[in-house]
Amino acid sequence: MDEFAVLPDPDDPRLTRAVDGIDHEGRAIETAVVMERPLTLFLNGQEIVTMMTIGDHPEYLAVGYLLNQNMLRPDDEITGIDHDDELDVVVVRTRRETDYEEKLKKKVRTSGCAQGTVFGDVMEAFETVRLNPAAVLHTSWLYQLTKKINTLPSLYLKSGAIHGSVLCHADRPLIYMEDVGRHNAVDKIAGFMMLNGVPADDKIFYTTGRLTSEMVLKTVQMGIPILISRSGFTAWGVDLARQAGLTLIGRAKGKRFVALSGAERIVFDADPAAVPEEERRHGRKSGVTDDAA
């Protein structure tokens, strides 16, 4: 797959809007703000959820959401995905008959972001996953990945207030998705992987969001052995990562990072000292006080 085979399109007029305001000196300015729109997801005949999304990949979002909620199985045959742009509705149809009435009643408001729901059977599925013990992360890859991701034109650089997730292989970012909710960005990648048959066990997942229990659960469920974030950790996220043998790296800024699980996959092949002083200072400064997200 090509580097950045899927990437943000900050010039897409549906994704941001220019609005008038004033700055700190009282001067009139125009600035870009990110758009959010509702998308109601149906699985076969059943309404599952209404999500707020930037709306750029409704099919991937729909499939990824269902997968990550265990409402779609990896071996399910998808017979159709219909997106109606005017009604803001997406319908996923499967050969298997589905009914999640009971499941939809049981929701937990979670600590992280966007989604706010974890279903009990997600935990059950989590416990059956075996992550690839042979996967590795070279620190030189990590530095290349964060540099490439952070300098690519994105909605984040244009307007802020958005989360990004990137599926990577070695030092190459492959699929870069952004969304107002970080779980949407993750789900869009999960949907892309299923619909395009992308293997997970040799991949690295990068997210701008915090390493909460939900983020760890999803990464493990997707079968990806390495998760990197520039943000920090929650205790439950760390516990789950250790339980699953996930390599969990947070506070990755400049050349600094902290690994709290699965450090045996890390190959230290880069010299963190071999970077400009300015970059190191910046990294140190924002090391712990990361983006809460």
Two tokens, residue 192: 């892309």
Site for its own copies in 206-265 (CB under 8 A): 208-213, 231-238, 250-251, 255-261, 263
Cβ proximity to its own copies, 5 vs 111, nearer residue: 111
DSSP 207: E
Q: Measure the CA–CA gap between 253 and 230, rounded to whole angstroms.
A: 6
* Nearer to its own copies (CB atom), residue 160 or residue 199: 160
| Nearer to its own copies among residue 60 and residue 200 (C-beta) | 60
Question: Measured from the CB atom, is 191 or 237 closer to its own copies?
Answer: 237
Distance between alpha carbon 122 and the CA centroid of its chain, in Å? 17
Q: How far is the CB of 184 from its own copies (least distance, A)?
A: 8
Binding to its own copies, residues 144-163 (CB under 8 A): 156-163
- The residue (of 70 and 184) whose beta carbon lies closer to its own copies is 184
Q: How many CA atoms lie within 13 A of 22 on its CB side?
A: 4
Per-residue binder mask for its own copies (CB under 8 A), 65-84, x = binder: --------------------
Return the closest-CA partner of residue 204 out of 233, 224, 218, 178: 224
Taking residue 235's Cβ as centre, other Cβ atoms within 10 Å add up to 10
Contact criterion met (CB below 8 Å) for 234 and 212: yes
Cβ-proximal residues to 1 (8 Å cutoff; 6+ apart), any chain: 169, 174, 175, 198
33 burial (CB, 10 Å; 0-12 / 13-18 / 19+) is middle
* Binding to its own copies in span 163-182, by CB under 8 A: 163-164, 179-182
Binding residue for its own copies, selected from 5, 35, 122, 170, defined by CB under 8 A: 35
Find the binding residues for its own copies in span 84-103 (CB under 8 A): none
CB 224 within 8 A of CB 217: no
Assess 200 for contact with its own copies (CB under 8 A).
Answer: no
Q: How many CB atoms are located within 10 Å of the residue 145 CB?
A: 22
Q: Of 1, 85, 96, 108, which one interacts with its own copies (CB under 8 A)?
A: 108
User: What gap in Å lies between CA 234 and CA 163, rounded to an integer?
Assistant: 18
Smallest distance from its own copies to CB 53, Å: 7
What is the nearest approach in angstroms of its own copies to the Cβ of residue 21? 4
Binding footprint of its own copies, residue count (CB under 8 A): 81
Q: Does 33 bind its own copies (CB under 8 A)?
A: yes
- Candidates 77-85, 107-115, 119-127, 169-177 — which segment interacts with its own copies by CB under 8 A? 107-115
Q: Which two tokens stand for residue 79?
A: 């017979």
Contacts of its own copies in 126-145 (CB under 8 A): 139
